[in-house]
């Protein structure tokens, strides 16, 4: 394995990690996936193998277990790490903050400490648009001030960004890129991998596809009295394959020593605000079905609107979202149908 062309992917069995593994392998990288299956299954790794036709080294490791993680650093030579491994349910993080601070921060600190110890220079960190909160200006650029976090989950992202910035500043051998994802949706066009939430989905699109599949009776639209054109919230829904390609562009930038300084941040979105009702209508149109839904009260904690200014990623990474919302929502439904055997 060429060290420069090998990437350790923590949380690589997860939704975004599995799609990113595929894009990296198809671009000629070797990946090593580390995951503890706390929110994923081995079927995702099998999906990556099926799509790419390549064997993928997989290690069942909890990244909070530093000794076990150290053995991975001893076993494999790699220059770059993409750190996805984290819990991501905002509501659960309010009920059990320690679960989130422990997992998300300890795993992150272990990764960075071992990178420093083993002189593995490049880390790509999964941050989130949640750091912007209810922003003062829209669309948000990377310079838009972050708002105080409204959940322990969001706080772990802000804290990890700050820790990474400080480590890049102080340690000569650490280079970091934080990608702030907006709302990732959809699935791989092969329908071999996709999002597989456990229990009742928190996010809109899995709830939509499960409702279409008859698993949920009716979709609740959380509020239609927002100050937006149709009264429902606006978000920037980014296709998961496009998102995976942004990781590829960022890794390419790191391994070819093209970074501007030691720590960079990029928004990863489409730049297009889409309302909840627009998303539902598009889902119905492209998949030729009707979705039962009702308007209910606002969900506490939801911001009215957030979408990305993507100029920096477009210009500096040479990356742009390509799939249309319709294509993405079609892929989400194809995936749901395959999972449910419909």
40 binds ligand NAD (CB under 6 A): yes
Give 80's Cβ-side CA count (13 Å radius).
28
CB of 268 vs ligand NAD, minimal distance in Å: 9
Q: Are the beta carbons of 287 and 333 closer than 8 angstroms?
A: yes
Rule CB under 6 A: choose which of 9, 11, 234, 321 binds ligand NAD. Answer: 11
Choose the contact partner of 107 out of ligand WQD, ligand NAD, none; CB within 5 to 8 A by kind: ligand NAD
190 binds ligand WQD (CB under 6 A): no
207 binds ligand WQD (CB under 6 A): yes
Alpha helices (H) along 151-239:
152-170, 204-212
Furthest CA-CA distance within the chain: 56
Binding range to ligand NAD, per CB under 6 A, among 12-20, 226-234, 246-254, 293-301: 12-20
267 binds ligand NAD (CB under 6 A): no
Rule CB under 6 A: choose which of 126, 158, 232, 310 binds ligand NAD. Answer: 126
Cβ closest to ligand NAD, residue 86 vs residue 219 = 86
Residues 79-138 that bind ligand WQD (CB under 6 A): 88, 90, 128, 130
Nearest of 283, 156, 299 to residue 224 by alpha carbon = 299
233 binds ligand WQD (CB under 6 A): yes
3-state SS of 75-139 is HCCCCEEEECCCCCCHHHHHHCHHHHHHHHHHHHHHHHHHHHHHCCCEEEEEEEHHHHCCCCCCC
64 binds ligand NAD (CB under 6 A): yes
17 binds ligand NAD (CB under 6 A): yes
Give me the DSSP letters along 230-252: TSS-EE-EEEHHHHHHHHHHHHH
Rule CB under 6 A: choose which of 276, 308, 321, 332 binds ligand WQD. Answer: 276
Q: Are the beta carbons of 23 and 248 closer than 8 angstroms?
A: yes
Choose the contact partner of 233 out of ligand WQD, ligand NAD, none; CB within 5 to 8 A by kind: ligand WQD
Rounded CA-CA distance 150/201 in Å is 20
179 binds ligand WQD (CB under 6 A): no
Rule CB under 6 A: choose which of 141, 150, 202, 224 binds ligand WQD. Answer: 202
The terminus-to-terminus CA distance of the chain in angstroms comes to: 41
What tokens appear for 278 in the block? 């627009």
Q: What are phi and psi of 13, to 5 degrees?
A: -90, -5
Write out the residues near ligand WQD by the rule CB under 6 A.
88, 90, 128, 130, 183, 202-204, 207, 219-222, 233, 235, 276, 299, 302
Write out the residues near ligand NAD by the rule CB under 6 A.
11, 13-17, 35-40, 62-64, 84-86, 88, 103, 107, 126, 128, 181, 184
């Amino acid at each position: 394995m060429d060290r420069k062309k090998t990437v350790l992917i923590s949380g690589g069995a997860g939704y975004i990690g599995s799609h990113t593994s595929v894009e990296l392998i198809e671009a000629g990288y070797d990946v090593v996936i580390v995951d503890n299956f706390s929110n994923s299954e081995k079927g995702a790794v099998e999906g990556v193998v099926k799509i790419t036709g390549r064997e993928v080294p997989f290690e069942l490791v909890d990244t909070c277990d530093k000794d076990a993680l150290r053995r991975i650093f001893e076993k494999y030579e790699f220059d770059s790490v993409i750190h996805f491994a984290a819990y991501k349910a905002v509501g659960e993080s309010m009920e059990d903050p320690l679960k989130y601070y422990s997992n998300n921060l300890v795993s992150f600190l272990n990764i960075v400490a071992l990178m420093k110890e083993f002189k593995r220079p490049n880390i790509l960190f999964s941050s989130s648009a949640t750091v912007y909160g209810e922003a003062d200006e829209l669309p948000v650029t990377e310079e838009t001030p972050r708002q105080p976090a409204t959940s322990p989950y969001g706080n772990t992202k802000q804290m990890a960004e700050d820790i990474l910035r400080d480590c890049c500043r102080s340690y000569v051998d650490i280079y970091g890129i934080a990608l702030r994802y907006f709302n990732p949706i959809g699935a791989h066009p092969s329908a071999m991998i996709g999002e597989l939430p456990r229990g009742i989905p928190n996010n809109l699109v899995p709830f939509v596809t499960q409702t279409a599949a008859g698993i949920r009776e009716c979709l609740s639209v959380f509020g239609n009295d927002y100050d937006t054109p149709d009264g429902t919230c606006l978000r920037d829904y980014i296709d998961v394959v496009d998102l995976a390609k942004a990781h590829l562009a960022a890794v390419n930038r790191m391994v070819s020593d093209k970074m501007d300084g030691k720590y960079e941040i990029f928004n990863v979105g489409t730049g297009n605000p889409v309302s909840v009702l627009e998303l539902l209508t598009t889902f119905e149109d492209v998949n030729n079905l009707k979705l039962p839904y009702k308007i209910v009260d606002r969900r506490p904690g939801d911001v009215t609107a957030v979408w990305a200014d993507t100029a920096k990623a477009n210009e500096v990474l040479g990356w742009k979202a390509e799939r249309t919302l319709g294509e993405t929502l079609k892929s989400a439904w194809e995936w749901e149908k395959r999972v449910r055997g419909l």
